[in-house]
Amino acid sequence: MTQAIAHAHKPFQTWGNVVGISENFKDFQIGLDKPTVIRLAEALAAAAPNSRVIKGQSKALPGPPNAVLTGQYTSLEVAKDIHFFSCDMVFDTLFQTRGTLPSSLWVGALFSGAWHTRIDGLDVSLPADGTPRIIVNSERSQYLDQPTTQDRIRMASFLIGAHFFERAAQDDPNNHLGGLHRHFQNGLQMQVLPQAQGIRDNLLRLLNNPYRGTTAVIYMESLIMASLFSLAEQFPPQDHPVEIHSGERQLIAYEAKAMIDDAPEDFTSIVSLAQKLGSNESTLQRQFRKAFGTTIFDYVLRTRMQSAHVLVRDGHLSISEISYRVGYNSPANFSTAYKRYFGNSPVQDRLIQPN
């Protein structure tokens, strides 16, 4: 199980008081066949009626804060208490939106652009490396969304309401989803999932959904449920959060992992990482191997390569751009490392499409 890198505790809310997803998000799709131009305020009114634009004045739109969006957006209930969102858009100004989030589990990844979300006391920055993140909030929360670049935003995510897990428990005698269900008792928390290659691939398939109508919804539901059960394997019912309160030295390993997970491309050396954490190289390496059974270098390599693999298969960035994005100064060195890790060069791997 990955270690939570930030959380703000809140009291656990009983299921009877939980507001469903349908109260906050509605079905709304634009630009499926060709890019569509729409005003942000109109999109929010249709897709998320409890949200509003609070900052971002478009030159093309006088009056209240707004923005002009161009591209494709999907907000769709694919099953009871399961909602899917995807975005492939550019916009004419940076903006902020505010809204409410029901008690739910959110899983998503950003494949291009840059995005920041604040949910009550939790700050979440999404880098465009395709690394999935999971956010669980046990009660209704306020969120503030804002892109941090005007580059093209490509994102896919799904939201599963708390009621879903309550119903699933009745038909899950072996408690397969119990580990995820238990997270609703821990307040508001976010975790990075750098090793969730299957979930990354599923989110990318959802973003590039080739189907329409009923078939598209069936396709979405199948991939979301496959991702959910894959996620449940990382949070087994018998699993318990790792105790990290036995000493500052043990905590160093988890802090280091959180920093790597958040920005593996920024890693330069163990010495530099240790200095940032107020430790020394030998202590950090020893504690990291003890906690995670691998070296820091191997963990950084694995995290970078998994992110690179998603971007290579996605096909929207050049190999050179991917190499710089995952932390390599030389595309040639990146290609060599990639082939050594996966057995195929990035160019070869790009030609192999997921099933």
Residues in the chain predicted with pLDDT less than 50, given as ranges, are 1-19, 239-248, 355
Q: How many CB atoms lie within 10 A of CB 195?
A: 17
- β-partners of residue 83 are 77, 159
Question: Given 200, 234, 268, which residue is the final one in a domain?
Answer: 234
**341 three-class SS:** helix
| Residues whose CB is less than 8 angstroms from the CB of residue 243 and which lie 6 or more positions away in sequence, other chains included | none
- Answer whether residue 130 is part of any domain: yes
Give the distance, in angstroms, between the CA of residue 283 and the centroid of all CA atoms in the same chain: 31
Give the pLDDT of residue 5: 32
Give the pLDDT of residue 8: 33
CATH of the domain at 299: 1.10.10.60
DSSP 8-state secondary structure symbol assigned to residue 122: E
**Tally of domains in the chain:** 2
User: Do 128 and 57 form a contact (C-beta atoms < 8 A)?
Assistant: no
Residues 195, 59 within the same domain: yes
Give, for 298, the enclosing helix (H) or strand (E). helix 296-314
Give the pLDDT of residue 250: 58
Residues 129, 77 within the same domain: yes
Question: With 0-12 CB in 10 A as exposed, 13-18 as middle and 19+ as buried, what is 282?
Answer: exposed
DSSP 8-state secondary structure symbol assigned to residue 327: T
Domain containing residue 262 = 248-350
The share of the chain scoring above pLDDT 70, in percent, equals 88
Residues 284, 195 within the same domain: no
- Answer whether residue 242 is part of any domain: no
Task: Quote the CA–CA distance of 338 and 320 in Å, as a whole number.
Answer: 12
- Answer whether residue 39 is part of any domain: yes
Q: How many CB atoms lie within 10 A of CB 247?
A: 9
Residues 10, 32 within the same domain: yes
Residues 254, 226 within the same domain: no
Residues 73, 110 within the same domain: yes
Question: Given 211, 234, 257, which residue is the final one in a domain?
Answer: 234
Condensed to tens digits (0 to 9), the pLDDT of residues 194-243 reads: 778 889 999 999 999 999 999 999 999 999 999 999 888 877 775 444 33
- β-partners of residue 191 are 134
- β-partners of residue 178 are none
- Answer whether residue 240 is part of any domain: no
Give the pLDDT of residue 12: 28
pTM: 0.70
| Burial letters 46-72, b for 16+ CB under 10 A, else e | bbbeebbbeebbbeebeeebbbbbebb
Residues 207, 254 within the same domain: no
Give the pLDDT of residue 249: 52
Residues 255, 225 within the same domain: no
- β-partners of residue 40 are none
Residues 207, 281 within the same domain: no
Task: Quote the CA–CA distance of 232 and 264 in Å, as a whole number.
Answer: 25
Task: Quote the CA–CA distance of 220 and 227 in Å, as a whole number.
Answer: 11
- Answer whether residue 1 is part of any domain: no
Question: Given 205, 234, 263, which residue is the final one in a domain?
Answer: 234
Task: Quote the CA–CA distance of 192 and 7 in Å, as a whole number.
Answer: 12
- Answer whether residue 355 is part of any domain: no
Give the pLDDT of residue 239: 43
- Answer whether residue 78 is part of any domain: yes
Residues 297, 163 within the same domain: no
Residues 282, 186 within the same domain: no
- Answer whether residue 174 is part of any domain: yes
Residues 97, 212 within the same domain: yes
